[in-house]
Amino acid sequence: MSKTRIEMVKNPEKTPQNTPQRLRCKPKGLPVGRDWIVGADSMNTILYCRYVTKETGTEYWRAYGFYSSPANALMGLVNQGVRDTKLADLKTVCDKIEELRRDIMEALSKWEMPK
């Protein structure tokens, strides 16, 4: 028999952890570069990021963020790319933004609107 929420709160060691969902299969959506996919559900545009485990080399996908529109999801992708550079210097940041812009434009040129 499963425990109720009240019973779990009384025993904090039994409280389930809020861990992000890992997807073993590649999610449906617009692939941007090698490590990102812009997908959607009925309420949000979802930005997925690819992860690889160090121990086994297993690839999986995790929802990075939930956005109200595809444009906001792409802005989130660019912002994360800039954060990944750790703001080393202006040239590094500009190069990363240009790389992401090329990836986005390439993805959009290959994408067909679902019928």
Q: How does residue 16 score in pLDDT terms, banded at 50, 70 and 90?
A: low
72 located within any domain: yes
- Residue 37 maps to a domain: yes
The SS3 call for residue 86 is coil
What residue numbers bound the domain in which 29 lies?
20-110
In-domain check, residue 61: yes
Split into its structural domains, the chain has a count of 1
- pTM greater than 0.95: no
Q: Is residue 115 in some structural domain?
A: no
Beta strand extents in the chain (DSSP E only): 22-23, 30-32, 36-40, 45-52, 59-67
Q: How confident is the model at residue 10 (pLDDT cuts 50, 70, 90)?
A: low
Judge whether 63 lies within some domain: yes
3-state secondary structure of 37: strand
